[in-house]
Amino acid sequence: GDLKDRGITMNDGNKIPILGFGTYSPDAVPKSKCEEATKTAIEVGFRHIDGAYVYQTEEHVGRAVRAKISDGTVKREDIFYTGKLWSTFHRPELVRKCLEESLKKLQFDYMDLFIIHNPFSMKPGPDLFPMGEDKKPVFDNVDLRQTWEAMEACKDAGLVRSIGVSNFTRKQLEMILNKPGLKYKPVINQVECHPYRNQSKLLAFCKSNDIILEGYCVLGSQRDPSWLNPDAPPLLEDPLLVAIAKKYNKTPALVAIRYQLQRGLVVLVKTYTRKRIEENAQVNQYI
């Protein structure tokens, strides 16, 4: 099938394309690269674009999407854009402000999906990562059930079609699902997911509650030396994965993506290299 048509219907009736293009870039990469990469992704068939307030690339993503709309490649309704509520905006009165700031940067009227980026809250203010004198992050004490009610209000206001969460544990999901007066269930929980961290328990829990598990880092985690053991083998060099890839004459990356799709996940891939964007788009031919 074609990327454009392969969607899963979420618990609110809206459809999400099963393969998404991630727009997070490490600080070392110029943000302008994001615009080129997003255009390429749309050209090779990606229709689902995953962004976030904190990535600080939404202006570039918006520019790329609008360029592809004006040249006739897509219409706005062909694109599924996900944005994320940053942790400094968890107070219920700030939720809509974060969403509106993102929409303004994107120059969109609405977002397809808006999710709570992390289950922890941080001190509101201009700093994305507020630090105290002790050089430690300054957290905020917010009841995420109230944050969720503000998310529901954004959906009711038509600013976003679907709402969900990210990096939530089963317990945190249960807190929302068991909330008195819940109006909308989260449609999705976006988490790190790859064969070295396959999230099978969380996946089973989400499936039983009709919540889609969406995986990022499906090709292994970002190899950031500050929190990953540099001696751990990169997933894409894993002997089993390499052997399966050889057997089917595919790349290890395609095998890793296909593994998640077969488990019913929505998958995000992140790369800014044209060759790899094209390669990741090929996964459709094998779905």
Active site residue 55: yes
Query: Which pLDDT score is estimated for 227?
Result: 45
Contacts of 46 (CB under 8 A, 6+ apart): 3, 17, 19, 20, 21, 277, 281
The single-letter DSSP state of residue 255 is H
Known binding-site positions for substrate: 117
Tell me, yes or no, if the pTM score tops 0.85: yes
Q: pLDDT tens across 31-67, in order?
A: 889 999 999 999 999 999 999 999 999 999 999 999 9
Give φ, ψ of 67 to 5 degrees.
Answer: -65, -40
Residue 1 pLDDT > 50: no
User: Do 160 and 81 meet the contact criterion of CB atoms below 8 Å apart?
Assistant: no
Mean pLDDT for all residues in the chain: 90
As a whole number of angstroms, the distance between CA 41 and CA 49 comes to: 9
Which of 55, 81, 216, 259 is catalytic? The answer is: 55
Query: Into how many domains does the chain fold?
Result: 1
Query: Which pLDDT score is estimated for 226?
Result: 47
47 inside domain: yes
287 inside domain: no
Mean pLDDT, range 88-109, rounded to an integer? 98
132 inside domain: yes
CATH code, 53 = 3.20.20.100
Distances in Å between the Cα of 121 and the Cα atoms of 76, 83, 92, 117 are: 32, 17, 11, 10
137 inside domain: yes
198 inside domain: yes
β strands within 146-244, DSSP E:
160-166, 188-192, 212-216
Q: pLDDT tens across 147-187, in order?
A: 999 999 999 999 999 999 999 999 999 999 999 999 999 99
Query: Which pLDDT score is estimated for 221?
Result: 59
181 inside domain: yes
As a whole number of angstroms, the distance between CA 280 and CA 283 comes to: 6
Query: Which tokens sit at 231?
Result: 């001696």
Known binding-site positions: 117
74 inside domain: yes
As a whole number of angstroms, the distance between CA 225 and CA 64 comes to: 32
Query: Which pLDDT score is estimated for 128?
Result: 96
What domain range includes position 215?
A: 3-282
**Pairing of the two strands 212-216 and 188-192:** parallel
Residue 4 pLDDT > 60: no
